[in-house]
Protein backbone atom coordinates (compact mmCIF):
# COMPACT_ATOMS: atom_id res chain seq x y z
CA UNK A 1 0.00 0.00 0.00
CA UNK A 2 1.08 3.57 -0.63
CA UNK A 3 2.51 5.42 2.35
CA UNK A 4 1.61 9.00 3.16
CA UNK A 5 3.81 11.56 4.88
CA UNK A 6 2.02 12.58 8.12
CA UNK A 7 1.26 16.20 8.87
CA UNK A 8 3.68 16.31 11.75
CA UNK A 9 6.65 15.50 9.50
CA UNK A 10 6.14 18.47 7.21
CA UNK A 11 8.89 21.08 7.41
CA UNK A 12 7.89 24.62 8.42
CA UNK A 13 7.52 27.02 5.49
CA UNK A 14 10.02 29.83 5.91
CA UNK A 15 9.50 31.54 2.57
CA UNK A 16 7.02 31.68 -0.29
CA UNK A 17 8.07 30.42 -3.69
CA UNK A 18 6.55 31.23 -7.10
CA UNK A 19 3.58 28.91 -7.53
CA UNK A 20 3.77 26.15 -10.08
CA UNK A 21 1.02 23.88 -11.43
CA UNK A 22 1.19 20.10 -11.26
CA UNK A 23 -0.51 17.77 -13.74
CA UNK A 24 -0.77 14.17 -12.56
CA UNK A 25 -1.77 11.49 -15.09
CA UNK A 26 -3.14 8.42 -13.30
CA UNK A 27 -3.79 4.93 -14.63
CA UNK A 28 -5.00 1.78 -12.90
CA UNK A 29 -1.84 0.00 -11.87
CA UNK A 30 0.55 -2.86 -12.39
CA UNK A 31 2.70 -5.29 -10.43
CA UNK A 32 6.31 -4.26 -9.94
CA UNK A 33 7.50 -7.70 -11.04
CA UNK A 34 6.10 -10.44 -13.26
CA UNK A 35 6.27 -13.14 -10.63
CA UNK A 36 3.86 -14.53 -8.07
CA UNK A 37 5.23 -12.34 -5.28
CA UNK A 38 4.83 -9.12 -7.26
CA UNK A 39 1.37 -10.04 -8.50
CA UNK A 40 0.26 -11.02 -4.97
CA UNK A 41 1.21 -7.59 -3.59
CA UNK A 42 -0.62 -5.88 -6.44
CA UNK A 43 -3.75 -8.02 -6.20
CA UNK A 44 -3.98 -7.58 -2.43
CA UNK A 45 -3.99 -3.80 -2.77
CA UNK A 46 -6.39 -3.87 -5.72
CA UNK A 47 -8.89 -6.36 -4.31
CA UNK A 48 -8.84 -4.77 -0.84
CA UNK A 49 -10.30 -1.55 -2.25
CA UNK A 50 -14.01 -1.28 -1.34
CA UNK A 51 -14.60 0.58 -4.61
CA UNK A 52 -13.48 -2.54 -6.52
CA UNK A 53 -15.03 -5.19 -4.26
CA UNK A 54 -17.76 -3.39 -2.36
CA UNK A 55 -18.43 -6.13 0.17
CA UNK A 56 -15.19 -6.23 2.19
CA UNK A 57 -16.72 -8.35 4.96
CA UNK A 58 -15.30 -11.37 6.76
CA UNK A 59 -16.34 -13.81 4.01
CA UNK A 60 -14.54 -11.80 1.32
CA UNK A 61 -11.42 -11.46 3.45
CA UNK A 62 -11.37 -15.23 3.96
CA UNK A 63 -11.79 -15.81 0.22
CA UNK A 64 -9.18 -13.20 -0.68
CA UNK A 65 -6.50 -14.28 1.78
CA UNK A 66 -7.32 -17.98 1.95
CA UNK A 67 -7.93 -18.75 -1.73
CA UNK A 68 -7.34 -15.94 -4.23
CA UNK A 69 -3.97 -14.71 -2.97
CA UNK A 70 -2.77 -18.29 -2.65
CA UNK A 71 -3.73 -19.49 -6.13
CA UNK A 72 -4.26 -16.56 -8.50
CA UNK A 73 -0.86 -14.76 -8.34
CA UNK A 74 1.13 -17.59 -9.95
CA UNK A 75 -1.41 -17.93 -12.76
CA UNK A 76 -1.61 -14.20 -13.43
CA UNK A 77 2.18 -13.95 -13.27
CA UNK A 78 2.37 -16.34 -16.22
CA UNK A 79 -0.02 -14.06 -18.11
CA UNK A 80 2.09 -11.00 -17.30
CA UNK A 81 5.21 -12.79 -18.51
CA UNK A 82 3.59 -13.16 -21.94
CA UNK A 83 3.44 -9.38 -22.39
CA UNK A 84 6.18 -8.13 -20.02
CA UNK A 85 8.68 -5.50 -21.19
CA UNK A 86 11.77 -7.46 -20.17
CA UNK A 87 14.13 -4.79 -21.50
CA UNK A 88 12.86 -2.31 -18.91
CA UNK A 89 11.65 -5.02 -16.50
CA UNK A 90 8.18 -3.51 -16.28
CA UNK A 91 4.69 -3.96 -17.67
CA UNK A 92 3.70 -2.28 -20.95
CA UNK A 93 1.22 -0.15 -19.01
CA UNK A 94 4.07 1.40 -17.04
CA UNK A 95 6.19 1.90 -20.17
CA UNK A 96 3.33 3.58 -22.03
CA UNK A 97 2.22 5.71 -19.07
CA UNK A 98 5.73 7.08 -18.66
CA UNK A 99 5.87 7.91 -22.37
CA UNK A 100 2.48 9.64 -22.22
CA UNK A 101 3.79 11.79 -19.38
CA UNK A 102 7.02 12.66 -21.20
CA UNK A 103 5.25 13.50 -24.45
CA UNK A 104 2.64 15.65 -22.69
CA UNK A 105 5.42 17.54 -20.89
CA UNK A 106 7.12 18.19 -24.23
CA UNK A 107 3.83 19.22 -25.88
CA UNK A 108 3.10 21.89 -23.25
CA UNK A 109 6.70 22.87 -22.56
CA UNK A 110 5.93 26.50 -23.42
CA UNK A 111 4.07 26.63 -20.09
CA UNK A 112 7.28 26.40 -18.08
CA UNK A 113 5.51 26.69 -14.73
CA UNK A 114 3.57 23.44 -15.38
CA UNK A 115 5.08 20.18 -14.09
CA UNK A 116 3.77 16.89 -15.52
CA UNK A 117 4.03 13.60 -13.64
CA UNK A 118 2.34 10.18 -13.66
CA UNK A 119 1.16 7.62 -11.12
CA UNK A 120 -0.65 4.34 -10.68
CA UNK A 121 -3.67 3.93 -8.44
CA UNK A 122 -2.34 0.54 -7.35
CA UNK A 123 1.37 -0.22 -7.31
CA UNK A 124 4.14 2.18 -8.24
CA UNK A 125 4.73 5.00 -8.70
CA UNK A 126 2.06 5.67 -6.10
CA UNK A 127 -0.25 8.66 -6.08
CA UNK A 128 1.07 9.64 -2.65
CA UNK A 129 4.70 9.69 -3.80
CA UNK A 130 3.96 11.78 -6.89
CA UNK A 131 1.81 14.33 -5.06
CA UNK A 132 4.63 14.67 -2.54
CA UNK A 133 7.11 15.17 -5.39
CA UNK A 134 4.94 17.76 -7.13
CA UNK A 135 4.34 19.81 -3.98
CA UNK A 136 8.06 19.63 -3.21
CA UNK A 137 8.61 21.33 -6.56
CA UNK A 138 6.35 24.20 -5.54
CA UNK A 139 3.11 23.06 -7.18
CA UNK A 140 0.39 24.91 -5.30
CA UNK A 141 -2.24 23.82 -7.81
CA UNK A 142 -2.83 20.25 -8.93
CA UNK A 143 -4.79 18.84 -11.86
CA UNK A 144 -5.41 15.11 -11.49
CA UNK A 145 -6.22 13.32 -14.76
CA UNK A 146 -7.70 9.81 -14.36
CA UNK A 147 -6.97 8.22 -17.74
CA UNK A 148 -10.31 6.44 -17.97
CA UNK A 149 -12.53 7.70 -20.80
CA UNK A 150 -15.65 6.33 -19.07
CA UNK A 151 -16.30 7.06 -15.40
CA UNK A 152 -16.88 4.31 -12.88
CA UNK A 153 -16.65 4.23 -9.11
CA UNK A 154 -14.11 1.39 -9.38
CA UNK A 155 -11.72 3.47 -11.51
CA UNK A 156 -12.18 7.24 -11.56
CA UNK A 157 -13.72 7.53 -8.09
CA UNK A 158 -11.05 5.46 -6.39
CA UNK A 159 -8.38 7.73 -7.88
CA UNK A 160 -10.16 10.63 -6.18
CA UNK A 161 -10.45 8.64 -2.95
CA UNK A 162 -6.69 8.15 -2.85
CA UNK A 163 -5.92 11.77 -3.78
CA UNK A 164 -8.25 13.00 -1.03
CA UNK A 165 -6.68 10.56 1.43
CA UNK A 166 -3.25 11.96 0.67
CA UNK A 167 -4.42 15.57 0.90
CA UNK A 168 -6.08 14.80 4.25
CA UNK A 169 -2.61 14.32 5.75
CA UNK A 170 -1.23 17.62 4.40
CA UNK A 171 -1.34 20.90 6.23
CA UNK A 172 -0.48 22.93 3.10
CA UNK A 173 -2.78 21.36 0.54
CA UNK A 174 -2.56 22.24 -3.15
CA UNK A 175 -5.67 23.60 -4.82
CA UNK A 176 -7.21 20.64 -6.61
CA UNK A 177 -8.96 19.97 -9.90
CA UNK A 178 -9.93 16.57 -11.30
CA UNK A 179 -10.56 16.15 -15.02
CA UNK A 180 -13.95 14.67 -16.01
CA UNK A 181 -14.53 11.52 -18.06
CA UNK A 182 -14.24 12.05 -21.80
CA UNK A 183 -16.36 9.20 -23.15
CA UNK A 184 -18.09 11.31 -25.83
CA UNK A 185 -15.47 14.01 -26.29
CA UNK A 186 -15.21 14.77 -30.04
CA UNK A 187 -11.39 14.69 -29.90
CA UNK A 188 -11.50 11.24 -28.29
CA UNK A 189 -14.03 9.82 -30.76
CA UNK A 190 -12.06 11.24 -33.67
CA UNK A 191 -8.81 9.78 -32.34
CA UNK A 192 -10.43 6.36 -31.98
CA UNK A 193 -11.76 6.46 -35.53
CA UNK A 194 -8.46 7.63 -36.99
CA UNK A 195 -6.53 4.99 -35.07
CA UNK A 196 -8.92 2.17 -36.04
CA UNK A 197 -8.95 3.11 -39.72
CA UNK A 198 -5.16 3.43 -39.81
CA UNK A 199 -4.71 0.00 -38.26
CA UNK A 200 -7.30 -1.65 -40.49
CA UNK A 201 -5.31 -0.50 -43.53
CA UNK A 202 -2.29 -2.46 -42.28
CA UNK A 203 -4.18 -5.76 -41.99
CA UNK A 204 -3.87 -8.47 -44.64
CA UNK A 205 -7.63 -9.04 -44.41
CA UNK A 206 -10.88 -7.09 -44.26
CA UNK A 207 -12.77 -7.77 -41.01
CA UNK A 208 -16.43 -8.61 -41.38
CA UNK A 209 -17.20 -6.62 -38.25
CA UNK A 210 -15.56 -4.80 -35.34
CA UNK A 211 -16.12 -5.57 -31.67
CA UNK A 212 -15.67 -2.77 -29.12
CA UNK A 213 -14.73 -4.52 -25.87
CA UNK A 214 -14.93 -2.58 -22.60
CA UNK A 215 -13.84 -3.74 -19.16
CA UNK A 216 -16.79 -5.24 -17.33
CA UNK A 217 -18.23 -4.68 -13.87
CA UNK A 218 -20.87 -6.40 -11.74
CA UNK A 219 -24.39 -5.60 -12.93
CA UNK A 220 -25.38 -4.69 -9.38
CA UNK A 221 -22.94 -1.74 -9.41
CA UNK A 222 -24.82 -0.25 -12.35
CA UNK A 223 -28.14 -1.05 -10.69
CA UNK A 224 -26.96 1.07 -7.75
CA UNK A 225 -26.36 4.06 -10.02
CA UNK A 226 -22.90 3.75 -11.60
CA UNK A 227 -22.99 5.58 -14.98
CA UNK A 228 -20.32 3.38 -16.58
CA UNK A 229 -22.66 1.20 -18.65
CA UNK A 230 -24.42 4.22 -20.16
CA UNK A 231 -21.12 5.94 -20.94
CA UNK A 232 -19.76 2.84 -22.70
CA UNK A 233 -22.88 2.82 -24.88
CA UNK A 234 -22.49 6.54 -25.56
CA UNK A 235 -18.89 5.99 -26.69
CA UNK A 236 -19.92 3.15 -28.98
CA UNK A 237 -22.85 5.08 -30.44
CA UNK A 238 -20.61 8.08 -31.18
CA UNK A 239 -17.97 5.84 -32.75
CA UNK A 240 -20.58 4.11 -34.92
CA UNK A 241 -21.80 7.48 -36.14
CA UNK A 242 -18.27 8.73 -36.87
CA UNK A 243 -17.31 5.54 -38.73
CA UNK A 244 -20.69 5.20 -40.43
CA UNK A 245 -21.24 1.69 -39.11
CA UNK A 246 -24.50 0.27 -37.82
CA UNK A 247 -24.86 -1.81 -34.68
CA UNK A 248 -24.41 -5.09 -36.59
CA UNK A 249 -20.96 -4.00 -37.81
CA UNK A 250 -19.68 -2.44 -34.58
CA UNK A 251 -20.69 -4.51 -31.57
CA UNK A 252 -20.35 -3.60 -27.89
CA UNK A 253 -19.20 -6.23 -25.37
CA UNK A 254 -17.71 -6.44 -21.86
CA UNK A 255 -14.64 -8.43 -20.80
CA UNK A 256 -12.73 -9.44 -17.66
CA UNK A 257 -15.39 -11.09 -15.50
CA UNK A 258 -14.37 -12.05 -11.98
CA UNK A 259 -16.27 -14.06 -9.41
CA UNK A 260 -19.75 -15.57 -9.61
CA UNK A 261 -21.92 -12.43 -9.84
CA UNK A 262 -23.68 -11.43 -13.03
CA UNK A 263 -21.60 -8.86 -14.91
CA UNK A 264 -22.44 -6.43 -17.68
CA UNK A 265 -23.49 -8.19 -20.87
CA UNK A 266 -22.88 -9.20 -23.58
CA UNK A 267 -19.64 -10.91 -22.53
CA UNK A 268 -16.71 -10.56 -24.93
CA UNK A 269 -15.54 -14.19 -24.73
CA UNK A 270 -19.05 -15.57 -25.26
CA UNK A 271 -19.53 -13.20 -28.19
CA UNK A 272 -16.30 -14.42 -29.79
CA UNK A 273 -17.49 -18.00 -29.48
CA UNK A 274 -20.95 -17.20 -30.83
CA UNK A 275 -19.74 -15.18 -33.81
CA UNK A 276 -17.31 -17.87 -34.88
CA UNK A 277 -19.99 -20.56 -34.63
CA UNK A 278 -22.35 -18.39 -36.67
CA UNK A 279 -19.84 -18.27 -39.51
CA UNK A 280 -17.91 -15.04 -38.95
CA UNK A 281 -14.35 -15.73 -40.09
CA UNK A 282 -12.60 -12.35 -39.91
CA UNK A 283 -12.86 -9.97 -36.98
CA UNK A 284 -11.16 -6.96 -35.38
CA UNK A 285 -11.44 -5.91 -31.74
CA UNK A 286 -10.91 -2.42 -30.33
CA UNK A 287 -10.78 -1.56 -26.61
CA UNK A 288 -12.08 2.03 -26.25
CA UNK A 289 -12.21 1.94 -22.45
CA UNK A 290 -8.43 1.64 -22.10
CA UNK A 291 -6.13 4.61 -22.66
CA UNK A 292 -3.07 2.34 -22.77
CA UNK A 293 -2.42 -1.29 -23.61
CA UNK A 294 -2.19 -3.58 -20.60
CA UNK A 295 -2.77 -7.16 -19.52
CA UNK A 296 -6.47 -6.94 -20.37
CA UNK A 297 -5.79 -5.86 -23.96
CA UNK A 298 -2.50 -7.55 -24.83
CA UNK A 299 -3.14 -10.93 -23.20
CA UNK A 300 -6.86 -11.28 -22.54
CA UNK A 301 -8.03 -9.91 -25.90
CA UNK A 302 -5.10 -10.32 -28.29
CA UNK A 303 -4.26 -13.84 -27.09
CA UNK A 304 -7.02 -15.45 -25.04
CA UNK A 305 -10.01 -14.17 -27.01
CA UNK A 306 -8.21 -14.67 -30.30
CA UNK A 307 -7.80 -18.33 -29.33
CA UNK A 308 -11.50 -18.62 -28.39
CA UNK A 309 -12.49 -17.16 -31.77
CA UNK A 310 -10.21 -19.43 -33.78
CA UNK A 311 -11.00 -22.53 -31.72
CA UNK A 312 -14.66 -22.15 -32.64
CA UNK A 313 -14.11 -21.69 -36.38
CA UNK A 314 -12.84 -18.14 -36.78
CA UNK A 315 -9.83 -17.65 -39.03
CA UNK A 316 -8.40 -14.14 -38.78
CA UNK A 317 -8.37 -11.97 -35.67
CA UNK A 318 -6.86 -8.53 -35.05
CA UNK A 319 -6.58 -6.66 -31.76
CA UNK A 320 -6.36 -2.96 -32.54
CA UNK A 321 -3.87 -1.18 -30.25
CA UNK A 322 -5.14 1.34 -27.71
CA UNK A 323 -4.45 5.02 -28.34
CA UNK A 324 -1.39 4.75 -26.07
CA UNK A 325 1.21 7.48 -26.76
CA UNK A 326 0.34 7.69 -30.46
CA UNK A 327 -0.15 11.08 -32.05
CA UNK A 328 -3.98 10.78 -31.96
CA UNK A 329 -3.82 9.53 -28.37
CA UNK A 330 -1.59 12.37 -27.23
CA UNK A 331 -3.87 14.88 -28.98
CA UNK A 332 -6.70 13.67 -26.73
CA UNK A 333 -4.67 13.96 -23.54
CA UNK A 334 -3.19 17.34 -24.47
CA UNK A 335 -6.55 18.88 -25.37
CA UNK A 336 -8.12 17.49 -22.20
CA UNK A 337 -5.35 18.88 -20.00
CA UNK A 338 -5.26 22.30 -21.66
CA UNK A 339 -9.02 22.62 -21.36
CA UNK A 340 -8.98 21.74 -17.65
CA UNK A 341 -6.09 24.13 -16.98
CA UNK A 342 -8.03 27.13 -18.31
CA UNK A 343 -7.91 29.95 -15.79
CA UNK A 344 -4.68 28.58 -14.33
CA UNK A 345 -2.47 29.11 -17.38
Bind-site residues for Fe(2+): 215, 296
Could you give the dihedral angle defined by the CA atoms of residues 330, 335, 338 and 342, in that order, rounded to the nearest 10 degrees? -170
State the Cα torsion 88-92-93-96 to the nearest 10°.
80
Question: How far is the C-alpha of 11 from the C-alpha of 131, rounded, in Å?
Answer: 16
From CA 304, how far away is CA 298, in angstroms rounded?
9
Torsion angle, alpha carbons of 261, 262, 268, 269, to 10: 60
| C-alpha atoms less than 13 angstroms from C-alpha of 65 in its C-beta half-sphere | 7
CA 319, CA 233: separation in Å to the nearest integer?
Answer: 20
Buried b (16+ CB within 10 A) or exposed e, 328-337: bbbbbbebbb
**Which residue ranges are tagged as binding site?**
215, 296
Give dist(CA 211, CA 139) in Å, integer.
42
Amino acid sequence: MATVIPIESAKPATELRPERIGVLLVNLGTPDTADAKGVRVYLKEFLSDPRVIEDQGILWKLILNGIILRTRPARKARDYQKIWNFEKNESPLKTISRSQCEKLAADIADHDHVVVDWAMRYGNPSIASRIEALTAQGCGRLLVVPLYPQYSAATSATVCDEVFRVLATMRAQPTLRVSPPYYDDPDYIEALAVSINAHLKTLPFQPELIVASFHGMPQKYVDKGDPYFAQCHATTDALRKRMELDASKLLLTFQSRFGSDEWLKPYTDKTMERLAKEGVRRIAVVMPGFSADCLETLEEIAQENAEIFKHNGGEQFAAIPCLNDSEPGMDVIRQLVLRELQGWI
